[in-house]
Structure 1
Amino acid sequence: MDSYRRDGLTFDVRDAGPDDGEPVVLLHGFPQDSSAWDRVAPALHQHGLRTLAPDQRGYSPMARPRGRGAYRLRETVEDVLALLDAAGLPSAHVVGHDWGGIVGWALGAWHPERVRTLTALSVPHPGAMARAMVTSDQALRSYYMGLFQLPLLPERLLLAGNGAAMRRMLEHGGLPEADVDRYVRRMQEPGALTSAINWYRALPWSGRDPVGTVRVPTLHVWSTGDAFLGRAATEDTARFVDAFYRLEVLEDVTHWIPELAAERTAELVTAHVRG
Structure 2
Amino acid sequence: MPELIHGGAIINGVRLHYAEAGDGPLVVLLHGFPEFWYSWREQIPTLVEAGYRVVAPDLRGYNSSEKPNGVEQYSLDKLVGDVVGLIDHFGEERAHIVGHDWGGVITWEVAIRHPERVKKLAVLNAPHPGRFREAVRTPDQLRRSWYALFFQLPWLPERLLSVRDYTPIRELFRNAPETPDAFSESDVRRYVEAAAQPGALKGAINYYRALFRDGVARELRTLFDGSTQDFDVEVPTLLIWGDEDSALGTELTEGVERWVPDIRIERLPDASHWVQNDAPERVNDLLVEYFEANRFHPENGRE
| Smaller-chain TM-score bracket | over 0.9
| Paired amino acid for 1:204 | F
Q: Secondary structure at the match of 2:267?
A: strand
Q: Secondary structure at the match of 1:79?
A: helix
Give the C-alpha shift of residue 257 in structure 1: 1.5
In the alignment, is residue 11 of structure 1 matched against residue 16 of structure 2? yes
Bigger relative contact order (CA 8 A; separation at least 6):
1
| Paired amino acid for 2:39 | A
In the alignment, is residue 238 of structure 1 matched against residue 271 of structure 2? no
In 1, Cα distance between the equivalents of 2:88 and 2:166? Answer: 37
In 2, Cα distance between the equivalents of 1:95 and 1:211? Answer: 21
Give 1:93-104 correspondences, 5 Å limit: 93-104=96-107
In structure 2, the residue matched to 1:272 is 290
| Paired amino acid for 2:165 | N
In structure 2, the residue matched to 1:254 is 272
In 2, Cα distance between the equivalents of 1:95 and 1:62? Answer: 19
In structure 2, the residue matched to 1:226 is 245
Larger radius of gyration: 2
**What do residues 162-212 of structure 1 show as CA deviations (whole Å, max 9, x unaligned)?**
011221122111251322221111111110000000000101343246461
In 2, Cα distance between the equivalents of 1:204 and 1:163? Answer: 25
Give percent identity, aligned residues only: 42
Give the C-alpha shift of residue 222 in structure 1: 0.6
Task: Give the structure-1-normalised TM-score.
Answer: 0.94
In the alignment, structure 2 segments of 5+ residues that lack a partner are 219-228, 294-303
**What do residues 16-71 of structure 1 show as CA deviations (whole Å, max 9, x unaligned)?**
112xx111110000001000001111011111111111111101534210011110
Q: Contact conserved, 1:84 with 1:90, CA < 8 A, in 2? A: yes
In structure 2, the residue matched to 1:217 is 236
Q: How many residues were matched structurally?
A: 272
In structure 2, the residue matched to 1:124 is 127
In 2, Cα distance between the equivalents of 1:222 and 1:112? Answer: 22
Measured on the aligned residues, the alpha-carbon RMSD in Å equals: 1.5
Give the C-alpha shift of residue 260 in structure 1: 2.0
In 1, Cα distance between the equivalents of 2:230 and 2:279? Answer: 28
| Paired amino acid for 1:17 | G
In 1, Cα distance between the equivalents of 2:208 and 2:39? Answer: 20
1:27 to 25, 30, 45: 30
In structure 2, the residue matched to 1:198 is 206
In the alignment, structure 1 segments of 5+ residues that lack a partner are none
Task: Give the structure-2-normalised TM-score.
Answer: 0.86
In structure 2, the residue matched to 1:158 is 161
